[in-house]
Amino acid sequence: MLLAGGGTAGHVNPLLATAQRLRERHPAAELTVLGTAEGLERELVPRAGLELVTIEKLPFPRRPDLAALRFPARWRRAVREVRALIRDRDIDVVVGFGGYASAPAYRAARLERVPIAIHEANAKPGMANVLGARWTQFVGLSYRATRLDGELVGMPLRPEITGLDRTALRAEAIAELGLDAARPTLLVTGGSQGARSINRTIVATAAEIEAAGWQILHLSGGRQTDFEPATTPHYVAIEYLDRMHLALAAADLVVCRAGSLTVSELMAVGLPAVYVPLPYGNGEQGLNAADQVAAGGALLVEDREFTAEWVRTRLVPLLRDADRLARMAGASAGAGASDGSDRMCDLIERAAATRRQS
C-alpha cells in the first residue's frame, strides 16, 4: 500500500493513525509513505517506523508566473517518479490524505490502473483530493458538511485519543500539570504554533475567568515570541505539550482554533468547545466545526469578535452554567466518531479488492 500525504499535522496525523491500524489488521502488509522533504512527515513518519519516500513539493499554480510555466514539466516528472514507485513496489492500492504529495500519486495510480482511496480531513476539501475524487468512488469524509462526494468515516485518530478515559486519567493529569483538583479547567490552545489573538484575550481576562470559579491551562504555542503569560493564581502556561491527552483529561471546556484534527479529537472525547477559527484562508475551519455546533456541543466566534468584552458577556456566563456545559459535553460526544481509523481501513480494503477482482 502506498499512503500519500503530508505537509501539516492535519494531513500527517490521520495518515499515521490509519497506517497504525492497517498494520494491526494486516501485519504482513508492506506500507510505504509518499511525502515531501519539507513537511512534518519528514520527522513523524520515520519516528512511527514507516518508510518515507519523498518527491518534489509541487504547489498548484494560482497565477500566471514563472512557476506556472515550469509546472507542467515538474508535474510530469513527479508523476513519472510515482508511477515507477508503484511498479517497483507492486502497489495494490494508493491511499491519499491530501497535501502536496497526493495529487501526483492520484494521477500515477490512475495511469497505472491501481485503485485509489481518499481521506478528506476538512469540511472544505483541498485541491488534491478534489482532483483524486474524480477517479475513485472510495472517498472517506470526516464531516457531514464536507463538500465532496463520499461516505462519512470520521477522522482516523491516535489510540491515545480513541482509548482516552478522561475520568480515570483526570486526577493524574491534574497533578502532573500542576492544576487544582477543586476547580474546573478551561483549556486554551492555538495549536503548536499558538494563536496570538486568543492568547492576548485570555491573558487579559484571566482574573475574570478565575473569578467564575475556574482555572486556566494555557498552551501558548512555540512561535509566540511576544507572549506574556498571566500572573493570576489559578493560571498555568505551557508552551508546548507532547502528551496532549493529559490536557484533554484535565479539561472541562476548550477554547481553540477549529482545525480538522482538533475538532475531531474534541468530539471523540466528548469535550465542549468555543472555536475561534483562523481569520484567513478559505473558511474551512468554520465549516470543520459545523457538525459539533449544530449538535449544540460548541460555540463559534469570529477571531475579530473574540475580545475581552466577548469573554465577559458570553464566556464567563457559560462557565457559570454547569447544566449547559454538561449538555454541550453530551452533544459533543454524540456528534463525533471514535472509530475513524477502522472505517477508513474498511474503505481501503474495499478499494484494494477491486484490483483483485479485475
Of 318, 261, 315, the residue nearest 289 (C-alpha): 261
pLDDT at 226 exceeding the cut of 80:
no
Of 255, 258, 199, the residue nearest 229 (C-alpha): 199
Q: What is the dihedral of CA 38, 193, 124, 8, to 10 degrees?
A: 20
Look at residue 223 in the predicted model and tell me its pLDDT.
65
Spatial distance between the Cα atoms of 244 and 238, rounded to a whole number of angstroms: 11
Q: Which of 146-155, 191-200, 201-210, 343-352 has the lowest mean pLDDT?
A: 191-200
> Over the stretch 111-128, which tens digit does the pLDDT of each residue have?
999 999 999 999 889 999
Predicted TM-score (pTM) above 0.75:
yes
Domains and CATH numbers, the chain: 2-157+339-357 (3.40.50.2000), 160-335 (3.40.50.2000)
> Over the stretch 254-273, which tens digit does the pLDDT of each residue have?
999 999 999 999 999 999 99
Look at residue 340 in the predicted model and tell me its pLDDT.
94
pLDDT at 241 exceeding the cut of 90:
no
pLDDT at 109 exceeding the cut of 90:
yes
Mean pLDDT calculated for residue range 333-353: 92
* Mean pLDDT for all residues in the chain: 93
Mean pLDDT calculated for residue range 17-23: 96
Q: What is the pLDDT confidence band of residue 240, given thresholds at 50, 70 and 90?
A: confident
Look at residue 194 in the predicted model and tell me its pLDDT.
61
pLDDT at 192 exceeding the cut of 90:
no
> Over the stretch 31-45, which tens digit does the pLDDT of each residue have?
999 999 988 899 999
Look at residue 296 in the predicted model and tell me its pLDDT.
96
Look at residue 323 in the predicted model and tell me its pLDDT.
98
> Over the stretch 53-90, which tens digit does the pLDDT of each residue have?
999 998 887 778 887 888 899 999 999 999 999 999 99
- What are 178's three cell numbers? 500542576
Mean pLDDT calculated for residue range 216-230: 83
